[in-house]
Structure 1
Amino acid sequence: MHRGMLAGASEHSTAVAADSVAPALAGPSVGAEPPRSDDTAVLTRLSVDELVESVLGVDREIAALHAQSTRLLAELHRRGVEAGAEHAVHDPRADRRSSDTGDREADVREQLGARIVVAEIAVARRMSEASIRIQLDEASRLAALPAVLAALDDGLLSPAHARALADGVSEVPLPLRARFENLVLPSALGGTPAAARRRARAVRERLHPQSIEIRAALRRGERRFVFEPDRDGMAWLHLHLPCVDARAAYERVDAAARSLAGAPHDPRGVGQIRADVATELLLFGDVHGDSAAGSPARPIAGPALRARRDEAERLPGRGGRYARFRPTVNVTVPVLALLGRSDEPANLEGYGPIPLGVAEEIAASAPSLTRILTHPETGTVLSVGRTSYTVPADLRRFVRLRDESCRFPGCERSAGACDIDHTRAWEHGGETAHDNLACLCRSHHRLKHASTWQVERPPGHPSVLRWTSPYGRVVTDSADPPF
């Protein structure tokens, strides 16, 4: 948080926190610098009780600052309509889309204004727009609970308690929010955030104007499947779906895993077997025949995975309806690594560094290969140029491999799901060349053309995009090499 924002905390909340902190180590006052490394000697002289009281004092200051941040974010959330009226620009393409969807101009401007405010905050705080939208929605709900904000000001609630109550009040009608607050606040003041969330959920259920059947039917439209990269060659898959389906899917995987657990010479735990069973179900539509018969299950990796692929192709009726589906996976390998003169890792598109051995496995089983040569010193992809308006397939592929994701600052949407945009418009003299093309997701592509956001490439830096927000904030985005 910027120091200018910290300095605006209420004097009352600062005094409450400062009074409760041990004199030997007063908690950091509003706007103060964080403790220096030489404060360690002071810390070692404090008793456990004094350390706990100091932590509680700092917690109270954090709570007060969270209340102030909530009020600021709620006001920014309210300013969306003004931003749309001031910074929306005429876009003929938007007119065509509007005629198809029936959106009215006022609605379009309001939605665009909210997007402008979200993008402004996101680039200023170097956060994703999805995170900012969540914070703005939460702040708007929390601002409608004045007693909760007052408790935050006084350090009587933590931000975690406040988030639980803000989540619970969603969709509670405005006339009933005071009643909601009266019913949930005592529990939050005396319990944990988890307990406050349970209480808020129960009260929300009582006060909600719609039946749970209607809400469940609407929420089913929010189901999704999400890929989240993790470190060291691993990743998460998240499924958001109706609870009955989720529980049934888990029980099926768990039952299969427990039937295989404890087999001789199988070192895997139940958690690992669950992951392997789920992998087989997703990739092949069933669990390996030997495993189902009770034989030791094989870890799904390396040669075993290739053997399963070969088996699925030899048996056309096996593996479910998607057994023959071939995904496109782009792996970039430094040329010196292939020659054995470097230990640099390979790069999996949409994920990041992976072991060279895994990349070689993928290459060995791939039905076709696209050669992607990287510069041995900088790691950047060697470029080609084009001069026609339509982006040729090879140039489109090159730009997506180079950019990896949307080039709007902070956006992580995969380049494969993005539009290819001319930074300098074709009608204004821009060329269809690698140094005038960039990947923009559909949302930010529209934002560029429908608002006063501006983008340019600084002279001498063809891989850099310099964005200027409607409020004058300048931020750059670079197409970094994969390593």
Structure 2
Amino acid sequence: MSIPAYLEDRDGEHRLPLRPSGTREESHRTSSEEAEREHQTFLGTLKQTALELFDAGPINGPTDALEALKKIQRLHSSTEAAIAYIMADGVEHVSESFNDLISTEHPHSADEETEAAKSATCYGVDRGSEQIINSNFIAESSVALRESNRKVSKRMFHAKGLRHVCKNTLAALAAGEITAKAAHDIVKFCQDLSPDQISLMEQILLPMAKTAPDEAIYQRARRLHDRLNPDSAENRQRNALAARNVRMWNDEDGMATLQLHHSADVIHSINNSIKHVASQLTDPKDSRTQAQVEADVFADVYLNGWPGKEGMPLKPRVSITIPAVEMLASPSRGLAELEGYGPIPIGVALKIAADAPSFQR
């Protein structure tokens, strides 16, 4: 039984300002002293925190338990930083070693050179390509980490982003100052940005990430990305909307799942309308839970139409905030706010507002 991902994963190394493999200076030390310093930076806090946790002895009351949890969180952050550091440097060393091996091999015959060129061109088999080396290292790492290739591939994306692009974020993660989730979200929303914009994002987000919850960092990073991205919000919305789709897959025990991937205003309108209808069904003899009622309303809409509406759709129920000054100054790049979701292009917000039953200044 195959269950697809809820959303297409659009994260990719090609969207980060990464230098070509072999030229990423962070992974190539110039001296043993530099290598030792980095070893201490990325593994020192991990060792110290583990020792503190062990030396503290058995838990003796709630205060000890909370202190132990803080240390474990710091230990987890340092461990994730160490994994990123080792994976990013590891694949670089494999690439470097392979290039050295190729350069020392005996020259091939003309026929062998022709066959190798044909394999690389026709079948995409170029044993020295970064993609092949990267895939092989991910496959080996998945065995070492006992994780799926998909998860380790995601780790590699974050590892390269932290090691070569968001270096201050990696340092904060290694020190146990921020969570792995916050670090990964910073990398995620640095895609499509320039090095200077990424530096600005780190300056803004890292002080917050030391104390704020992960969800706050995610939302702030998303908003910063939308404002800094050189591609206008309207263009990105248009491109994303082209990927809208409906998917269905079978689950166990006679169940199945239907998924609609569409623009945020459409999804929130549907969801709010379902909740509104469900809230009107107040029969005291109805033993269904709220979730069950909403699921049944959702199914009834597509089979029988909205209750009491003879199949006519309800008016979408969403709230949006449109900054007037930004709308006038930059209508193509400006952002409005969709309640319960976050920033959306002002152009989309204006289309929604055209049918709004009420406005509030």
TM over 0.5: same fold?
yes
Change (3 A) 1:14 1:71: closer
Instruction: Spell out the pairing of 1:162-311 with structure 2 (5 A cutoff).
Output: 162-225=183-246, 234=255, 236-259=257-280, 261-263=281-283, 265-281=285-301, 286-288=302-304, 292-293=307-308
Change (3 A) 1:257 1:200: same
Which is bigger in relative contact order (C-alpha 8 A, separation at least 6)? 2
Instruction: Spell out the pairing of 1:355-394 with structure 2 (5 A cutoff).
Output: none
**Structure 1 gap segments, 5+ residues each:** 1-7, 26-41, 99-103, 296-317, 319-483
Q: Does the aligned pair in 2 maintain the 1:84–1:116 contact within 8 Å?
A: no
- 3-state secondary structure, aligned to 1:127: coil
Q: Deviations over 1:331-358 (max 9, x none)?
A: xxxxxxxxxxxxxxxxxxxxxxxxxxxx
User: 1:138 maps to which residue?
Assistant: 158
1:161 to 163, 182, 190: 182
User: 1:17 maps to which residue?
Assistant: 49
- 3-state secondary structure, aligned to 2:231: coil
- 3-state secondary structure, aligned to 1:155: coil
1:69 to 83, 89, 112: 83
- 3-state secondary structure, aligned to 1:287: helix
Change (3 A) 1:124 1:13: closer
Q: CA deviation at 1:117?
A: 3.7
Change (3 A) 1:17 1:126: closer
TM-score (norm 1): 0.44
User: 1:372 maps to which residue?
Assistant: none
Q: Does the aligned pair in 2 maintain the 1:67–1:149 contact within 8 Å?
A: yes
Moved more, 214-223 or 152-161: 214-223
User: 2:172 maps to which residue?
Assistant: 151
| RMSD of Structure 2 on Structure 1 (CA) | 4.1
Change (3 A) 1:225 1:109: farther
- CA–CA separation in structure 2 for the residues paired with 1:137 and 1:231: 33
Change (3 A) 1:105 1:94: closer
Q: CA deviation at 1:118?
A: 3.6
Q: Deviations over 1:215-238 (max 9, x none)?
A: 222223444555677676555544
Moved more, 167-176 or 250-259: 250-259
Which residue identity does 2:307 align to in structure 1?
A: A
Which residue identity does 2:44 align to in structure 1?
A: H
Change (3 A) 1:80 1:17: closer
Q: Does the aligned pair in 1 maintain the 2:43–2:174 contact within 8 Å?
A: no
Which residue identity does 2:215 align to in structure 1?
A: A
Change (3 A) 1:108 1:171: farther
Q: Percent identity, please.
A: 22
User: 1:127 maps to which residue?
Assistant: 147
Q: Deviations over 1:433-471 (max 9, x none)?
A: xxxxxxxxxxxxxxxxxxxxxxxxxxxxxxxxxxxxxxx
- CA–CA separation in structure 1 for the residues paired with 2:219 and 2:270: 25
Q: Does the aligned pair in 2 maintain the 1:77–1:140 contact within 8 Å?
A: no
- CA–CA separation in structure 2 for the residues paired with 1:191 and 1:257: 35
Q: CA deviation at 1:272?
A: 1.1
Change (3 A) 1:76 1:249: farther
- 3-state secondary structure, aligned to 2:210: helix
Which residue identity does 1:271 align to in structure 2?
A: A
- CA–CA separation in structure 2 for the residues paired with 1:248 and 1:83: 55
- CA–CA separation in structure 1 for the residues paired with 2:238 and 2:264: 12
Change (3 A) 1:172 1:83: farther
User: 2:65 maps to which residue?
Assistant: 51
Q: Quick check: which one's helix share is greater?
A: 2
Q: Does the aligned pair in 2 maintain the 1:142–1:149 contact within 8 Å?
A: yes
- CA–CA separation in structure 2 for the residues paired with 1:256 and 1:199: 33
Corresponding pairs, count? 258
- CA–CA separation in structure 2 for the residues paired with 1:185 and 1:276: 44
